[in-house]
Structure 1
């Protein structure tokens, strides 16, 4: 059976936004700057073309451009994960095969979600076919609310598909995350339950890949290090700073809210792709208030 290439997925792994220019092309300069910013913050990995990166809107060519740019900028310093959000096994394999050529370390793959959910055996076969066709390590991205993969199926996928190296548990379901962590499968369990990052680490999560990390990677690295050092007062204090930030960016237009937050912090997340709804003035005010409360912006 195939053995997964060595890849260590642990700690703070921010999912980057995809900056677009006015013509809805990838703004490569802005993307490079964001990668450099995150590396300087001490992150342990980079994820591109996921939900926070509008991966569902990207062509295979755009996905390759983003992934290749990130890999070049990272230059081996940390692992790079590339997300795939497609609705058929064939399309995931097409994207995965193209992304393999960019030098990314792993793929992050959602289940199919429009319109009908496959059963357990087909879900396992889905990930097996993807890994066999691409030869790439895969993280199961368990995020789709109406196509959430049950914990027992995730266990089986990790145990039965050699190149599946872990799961990113999202969708706001701390109960499923707790079930996955209790089972302690051989693969890595990463959290994307943003309002409960701190307790997820205490329960044994190997790290996080979530939107809050994208906005304030420095604070998230500081919290991760505090937990590792047993400094729970600092970790809890940071949790209370992160929570309002997450509440302010959480919403149907999340990637646009994140880009608004980046702009307030002096970073360039680029424009959004049509028809994403820009952050409203009320949303921007809530974001600014959260950043002020966290001590990241002046009053």
Structure 2
């Protein structure tokens, strides 16, 4: 398959059943729905994917399910967030063998590495595979054989700036809640129709802000549930948001999903 790295890359959540067990059927449904709607790419096990809450066996199951669900219809990136560089390289090789199209390499979740250590970590993972590799926060791995580089912008907040600076796409948490709106925003921005793109961006921005912060996983999962696009369950110690936050988020989801009709 000739992979084209462009458009909106949805950073998806990992669905759980009510007993906090993996819900692979829900994951497959979520990914198939996003691809059917025209998403540019998928990122699994990222910051919103609760990868740190999964066992190694479960992470492998998520990757296999995702490869099967996407079925080559869009690029599939797997986030690599392991406590050691050796473990990260081992998981990267596993992802490559399973059929992932690229990797998003994140620093160790247990150690605050400095710049020198972070570069070593990312370069080591890139050297272990032949896949395209993107370092966390959009920083390219400059020693990889094939690199995404600056093709993908970092996040919904900078979607318009990414298009203005010539990026071919961007990572998006909002796409898991408002896929049609985020895809249309990028289409308008890439076509240099910035006034229309900005109008849609303004409608999405309050929801984006509400989905950020230390409880982003719970907020995004609740927003998905409110939009009929997923379930709310996260693994403890993450608990559901309190009533006031739930009511506010419901209002913001309604407003954001009305964005296409308003521009």
Structure 2 unpaired stretches of 5+: none
Distance of 2:130 and 2:65 partners within structure 1: 22
Task: Determine the structure 1 residue equivalent to 2:167.
Answer: 205
What TM-score results when the alignment is normalised by the length of structure 2? 0.89
Task: Determine the structure 1 residue equivalent to 2:237.
Answer: 275
Describe the SS at the equivalent of 1:14.
strand
Task: Determine the structure 1 residue equivalent to 2:82.
Answer: 86
Q: Encode CA deviations 1:156-190: one digit per residue, 9 max, x unaligned.
A: x42x3324x13xxxxxxxxxxxxxxxxxxxx2342
Describe the SS at the equivalent of 2:47.
coil
Distance 1:222 1:116, change over 3 A: closer
Q: 2:144 aligns with which of 161, 172, 179?
A: 161
Task: Determine the structure 2 residue equivalent to 1:230.
Answer: 192
Q: 2:202 aligns with which of 214, 233, 240?
A: 240
Task: Determine the structure 2 residue equivalent to 1:127.
Answer: 122
Distance of 2:232 and 2:212 partners within structure 1: 19
Is 1:140 the counterpart of 2:135? The answer is yes
8 A Cα contact 2:43 2:78, kept in partner = yes
Q: 1:257 aligns with which of 219, 225, 238?
A: 219
Describe the SS at the equivalent of 1:139.
strand
Q: 2:13 aligns with which of 4, 14, 17?
A: 17
What TM-score results when the alignment is normalised by the length of structure 1? 0.79
Distance of 2:170 and 2:40 partners within structure 1: 10
8 A Cα contact 1:67 1:99, kept in partner = yes
Distance 1:201 1:106, change over 3 A: same
Name the Cα RMSD after superposition: 2.2
Is 1:59 the counterpart of 2:62? The answer is no
Q: How does 1:180-199 map to 2 (within 5 A)?
A: 187-199=149-161
8 A Cα contact 1:14 1:45, kept in partner = yes
Q: Give the deviation of 1:206 after TM superposition.
A: 2.4
8 A Cα contact 2:81 2:109, kept in partner = no
Describe the SS at the equivalent of 1:96.
helix
Distance of 2:171 and 2:49 partners within structure 1: 12
Q: Give the deviation of 1:15 after TM superposition.
A: 0.9
* Pairs aligned (count): 259
Q: Encode CA deviations 1:64-100: one digit per residue, 9 max, x unaligned.
A: 1111111111111111001111221011012212222
Is 1:217 the counterpart of 2:212? The answer is no
Distance 1:282 1:134, change over 3 A: same
Q: Give the deviation of 1:105 after TM superposition.
A: 0.4
Is 1:293 the counterpart of 2:246? The answer is no
Describe the SS at the equivalent of 1:251.
coil
